[in-house]
Chain A
């Protein structure tokens, strides 16, 4: 099986490599902007999270992928989709980018490509994304992607911190409300993107 690779105008979404472990850890641990939204993981937890992504990729053909910037020629973030894992019964979209790269529409570009790939390659009617009330950038993007918040699902997602390293603040402040956004498959599945990305 070939290596996964999905290209957008400015980005490449690809599988994990050994050298990504340092970047992922440093990003979580040293990016002050991101620290506002992320519980600082230990290096061990950080590596475990990566191990889970590698295993998602091996078992399901997708995961939260590494995002490389074509111009910078290095990893600047992570974006992708992870399979349902009970008690969550739906595919979950997520992303995380270095704060220096925020505000350029890169997360949107990566997330949009991930959604299109997912509709073309996954057998599901719904995809969710989880964020927290205070992470305005995150839920703002979810809405721009066409995802809808359902108030009925607020507070409801059980804490599965181990599985969801891209759910900012989820485990940081349980009192502050976790919000679920969901998107429904387009009537005509998009087949343009991602079909050859194997």
Chain B
């Protein structure tokens, strides 16, 4: 059996297991994470998220993978690619979420860069998008460090967020396959 794995100097990206839902939920509901991803979600929602990523992996060959550190077992977040929401279809988006205790160490950039490299080598995608709420400067900085460029007139309202939600307005960044 071939187990999927991407390794970087400090990180390992792996597939989801069903029992990852609990830690997914805990991470997703951390107040500092919820600030950027929206109000806390139920454990059932996390189970659905895990199931969706597992489905992506089966159908597309990639997903938002689980991120672990090499020196200590256990999920610290997720990073990878998935189909973007309606306004950016048919683009594939790259995304990441890491535990706030580990912010500021360049781990998101390290994981995302490995994902981009993987995508250019293993998929025919001509470009990859990234989106985040307008005020999420941390994520936007990672996008810039990855060499992504903001798409002019690309701002949009995320369809999954309701009117009045401060996270609703999103920015769009893209990067093209290197020549």
- Known contacts: A152-B43, A156-B43, A184-B101. The answer to whether A125 contacts B76 by CB under 8 A is yes
Report the minimum CB–CB distance from A44 to chain B (whole Å). Answer: 32
| Contact indicator A185/B26 (Cβ below 8 Å) | no
Interface residues of B (CB under 8 A from A): 19, 22-23, 25-26, 28-30, 40-43, 46, 68-69, 72-76, 99, 101-102, 105
B41, B42, B74 — most chain A CB neighbours (10 Å): B74
Residues of A within 8 A of B101 (CB): 184, 186-187
Residues of A within 8 A of B40 (CB): 151-152
What 10 pairs across the A-B complex have the smallest Cβ distances?
A125-B74, A152-B25, A150-B26, A152-B43, A89-B19, A123-B73, A150-B29, A124-B74, A152-B29, A184-B101
Which secondary structure characterizes the binding site on chain A?
loop
Residues of B within 8 A of A162 (CB): none
Residues of A within 8 A of B102 (CB): 187
- Which residue of chain B has its CB nearest to the CB of A91? B74
| Contact indicator B75/A89 (Cβ below 8 Å) | no
Q: What 8 new A-B contacts, CB under 8 Å, besides A182-B26, A187-B105?
A: A123-B73, A124-B74, A126-B74, A150-B29, A152-B25, A152-B28, A153-B25, A189-B72
Interface residues of A (CB under 8 A from B): 86-87, 89-90, 123-126, 148, 150-153, 156, 182, 184-187, 189
- Which residue of chain B has its CB nearest to the CB of A124? B74
